């Protein structure tokens, strides 16, 4: 494997779906997949840049694992095609088997062979004939791979059950890396780990793959994991990719309400859109590229709504939930005075009274019944009202 960390995605981080595809490693074109009468993938298009990191995130049953298995070559698409490095590997009458695709796969549970030592697990895919020094070469390579995943070479003698969950996942990664894949597929490999270990393992795995210049696709349920791990996030819903983009874009400018709510907490309010200004109980808020005029649904992330003594918006604390580093505060919004007269009277906007949830670091600031002043920062995202009704 060559150390090509410089081959990471070029700056700025642009979603390959909208970027030039000359740097493309994987191209998925209109892929469908059925199991019996169930249509599981309904026309998926995805482009992954060489050396890039893509997270496929979506609810359970949306088709994430199925897509990964098609890329790996464990399943065949019904229609559409898959190409690696510009060569078709599936579809249009072409079929390249899994072992010829240079693709690594790490499953949720690591799937280590329990009866083999860690060293034997890792060397399973190695060909001694291809390594200098025969079996000595295998041993050296195993030690190198263990080192790569930050495990002590002495671990090679242990059995998988003598390792922690995080260590087992690293061994699974080392085993997949042994084959020097150009593309690594990670199917929820961190989901069985507890919170602290999960973050540490994810970071370590991400660094190993990044340093090795391996193109990586991570499937996860966990939106925070997807946003922190990847250059590109693909949101899957009911067998389709609802949105593909860099983490910042999909989080701050989700394509629809369901995507907004899947990727994090969202404050949704009815609003009245005129030009690029939306008027709602939080006042007048700018919207970039509004999809409609008149009645819309407006989305803000809770962290955009700040408690500020001089804030123009009033809210009464309904209740709070203490989480340690932050407290969520449910607030009932008052009618903003600047709007109370005209716009409310002719029903152009709902006129206050909505309950929203925001966050604050100081638990003592918000006692139920107390009044708080708020300020909104940044832009909101508007969704057409039909879209909201359809959810
Ligand atoms: N081999 C199979 N035979 C029949 N149905 C299958 C098969 N594999 C997956 N499915 C069905 O396809 C749908 C999508 O499954 P898939 O595992 O791809 O979803 P997922 O998004 O990865 O879900 P999860 O997050 O729960 O793992 C599910 O309804 C599942 O039951």
Mutate to test the pocket of ligand 1, among 65, 69, 189, 222 (most ligand atoms within 8 A of CB): 65
Whether 382 shows a pLDDT value over 70: the answer reads yes
Residue of minimum CA distance from atom 6 in ligand 1: 35
Ligand 1 centroid to 238 CA: how many Å? Answer: 11
Give the position, in ligand 1's atom list, of the atom nearest the Cα of 69.
18
Ligand 1 centroid to 137 CA: how many Å? Answer: 40
- Contact between residue 355 and residue 318 where contact means Cβ atoms under 8 Å apart: yes
- Name the pLDDT band for 199 (thresholds 50, 70, 90): confident
Ligand 1 centroid to 217 CA: how many Å? Answer: 18
- Contact between residue 259 and residue 250 where contact means Cβ atoms under 8 Å apart: yes
188 phi/psi in degrees, rounded to 5: 45, 50
Q: Which two tokens stand for residue 317?
A: 């604390």
ipTM above 0.85, yes or no: yes
Whether 15 shows a pLDDT value over 80: the answer reads no
| Boundaries of every domain in the chain | 24-252, 265-384
- Name the pLDDT band for 183 (thresholds 50, 70, 90): very high
pLDDT tens track for 44-83:
999 999 999 999 999 999 999 999 999 999 999 999 999 9
Mean pLDDT along residues 316-325: 88
pLDDT of 385 reads 85
Which pairing describes strands 294-300 and 267-274: parallel, antiparallel, or unpaired? antiparallel
Residue 364 near ligand 1, beta carbon < 6 Å: no
Rounded to an integer, what distance in angstroms lies between the CA atom of residue 190 and that of residue 362? 32
Burial of residue 317, with CB atoms counted within 10 A of its CB: 0-12 exposed, 13-18 middle, 19 or more buried: middle
Ligand 1 centroid to 67 CA: how many Å? Answer: 10
Residue 63 near ligand 1, beta carbon < 6 Å: yes
pLDDT of 8 reads 33
- Name the pLDDT band for 144 (thresholds 50, 70, 90): confident
Give the CA diameter of the chain: 85
Helices 165-178 + 134-148 axis angle, to 10: 130
Q: Which two tokens stand for residue 102?
A: 């240079």
Q: Which two tokens stand for residue 315?
A: 């809210």
pLDDT of 17 reads 43
Burial of residue 42, with CB atoms counted within 10 A of its CB: 0-12 exposed, 13-18 middle, 19 or more buried: middle
- Name the pLDDT band for 383 (thresholds 50, 70, 90): very high
- Name the pLDDT band for 188 (thresholds 50, 70, 90): confident
pLDDT of 204 reads 81
What is the b/e burial string over 138-162, where b = at least 16 CB atoms within 10 angstroms of the residue's CB? bbebbbebbebbebebebbebebee
Ligand 1 centroid to 80 CA: how many Å? Answer: 19
- Name the pLDDT band for 7 (thresholds 50, 70, 90): very low
Q: What share of the chain has pLDDT > 90, as a percent?
A: 50
Ligand 1 centroid to 66 CA: how many Å? Answer: 6
Q: Which two tokens stand for residue 209?
A: 């793959």
Mean pLDDT along residues 126-154: 79
Q: Which two tokens stand for residue 92?
A: 């249009």
Residue of minimum CA distance from atom 18 in ligand 1: 63
85 phi/psi in degrees, rounded to 5: 50, 40
- Name the pLDDT band for 13 (thresholds 50, 70, 90): very low
Q: Which two tokens stand for residue 241?
A: 């990719």
CATH topology of domain 24-252: Rossmann fold (3.40.50)
Q: Average model confidence (pLDDT) for the chain?
A: 84
Whether 11 shows a pLDDT value over 60: the answer reads no
Mean pLDDT along residues 102-108: 87
pLDDT tens track for 338-376:
555 555 555 566 667 889 999 888 767 778 899 999 999
Mutate to test the pocket of ligand 1, among 61, 186, 188 (most ligand atoms within 8 A of CB): 61
Residue of minimum CA distance from atom 9 in ligand 1: 66
Give the position, in ligand 1's atom list, of the atom nearest the Cα of 75.
1
Mean pLDDT along residues 9-36: 67
Instruction: Write the secondary structure of the chain as one string of H (helix), E (strand) and C (coil).
Output: CCCCHHHCCCCCCCCCCCCCCCCEEEEEEEEEEEECCEEEEEEEEEEEECCCEEEEECCCCCCHHHHHHHHHCCCCCCEEEEEECCEEEEECCEECCHHHCCEEEECCCCCCCCCCCHHHHHHCCCCHHHCCCHHHHHHHHHHHHHHHCCCCHHHHHCCHHHCCHHHHHHHHHHHHHHCCCCEEEEECCCCCCCHHHHHHHHHHHHHHHHHHCCEEEEEECCHHHHHHHCCEEEEEECCEEEEEECHHHHHHCCCCHHHHHHHCCCEEEEEEEECCEEEECCEEEEECCCCCCEEEEEEECHHHEEECCCCCEEEEEEEEEECCCCEEEEEEECCCHHHHCHHHHCCCCCCCCCEEEEEECCHHHCCCCCEEEEEECCCEEEEEHHHHHHC
pLDDT of 205 reads 81
Rounded to an integer, what distance in angstroms lies between the CA atom of residue 14 and that of residue 165? 34
Ligand 1 centroid to 354 CA: how many Å? Answer: 38
- The structure tokens 């060569």 sit at 87
pLDDT of 110 reads 67
């Amino acid at each position: 494997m060559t150390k090509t960390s410089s081959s990471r995605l070029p700056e700025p981080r642009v979603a390959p779906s909208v970027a030039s595809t000359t740097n493309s490693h994987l191209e998925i074109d209109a892929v469908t997949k059925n199991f019996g009468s169930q249509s599981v993938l309904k026309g998926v298009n995805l482009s992954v840049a060489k050396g890039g990191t893509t997270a496929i995130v979506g609810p359970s049953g949306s088709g994430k694992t199925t897509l990964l298995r098609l890329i790996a070559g464990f399943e065949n698409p019904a229609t559409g095609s898959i190409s690696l490095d510009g060569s078709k590997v599936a579809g249009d009458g072409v079929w390249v088997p899994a072992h010829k695709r240079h693709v690594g796969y790490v499953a949720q549970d690591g799937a280590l062979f329990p009866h083999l030592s860690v060293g034997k697990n890792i060397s399973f895919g190695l060909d001694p004939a291809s390594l200098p020094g025969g079996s000595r070469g295998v041993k050296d390579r195993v030690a190198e791979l263990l080192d790569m995943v930050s495990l002590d070479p002495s671990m090679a003698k242990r059995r998988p059950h003598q390792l922690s969950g995080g260590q087992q996942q690293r061994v699974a990664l080392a085993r997949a890396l042994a084959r020097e894949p150009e593309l690594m597929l990670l199917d929820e490999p961190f989901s069985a780990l507890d919170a602290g270990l999960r973050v540490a393992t994810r970071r370590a795995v991400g660094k190993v793959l990044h340093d090795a210049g391996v193109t990586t696709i991570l499937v996860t349920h966990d939106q925070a994991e997807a946003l922190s791990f990847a250059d590109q996030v693909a949101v899957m819903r009911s067998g389709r990719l609802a949105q593909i983009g860099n983490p910042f874009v999909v989080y701050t400018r989700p394509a629809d309400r369901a995507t907004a709510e899947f990727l994090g907490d969202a404050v949704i309010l009815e609003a009245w859109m005129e030009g690029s200004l939306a008027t709602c109980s939080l006042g007048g808020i700018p919207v970039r590229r509004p999809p409609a005029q008149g009645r819309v649904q407006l989305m803000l992330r809770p962290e955009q709504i700040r408690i500020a003594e001089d804030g123009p918006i009033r809210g009464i604390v309904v209740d709070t939930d203490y989480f340690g580093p932050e407290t969520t505060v449910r607030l009932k919004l008052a009618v903003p005075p600047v709007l109370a007269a005209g716009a409310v009277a002719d029903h152009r906007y709902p006129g206050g009274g909505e309950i929203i949830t925001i966050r604050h670091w100081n638990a003592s600031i918000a006692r139920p019944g107390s009044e708080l002043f708020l300020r909104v920062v940044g832009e909101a995202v508007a969704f057409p009202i039909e879209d909201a009704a359809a959810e």
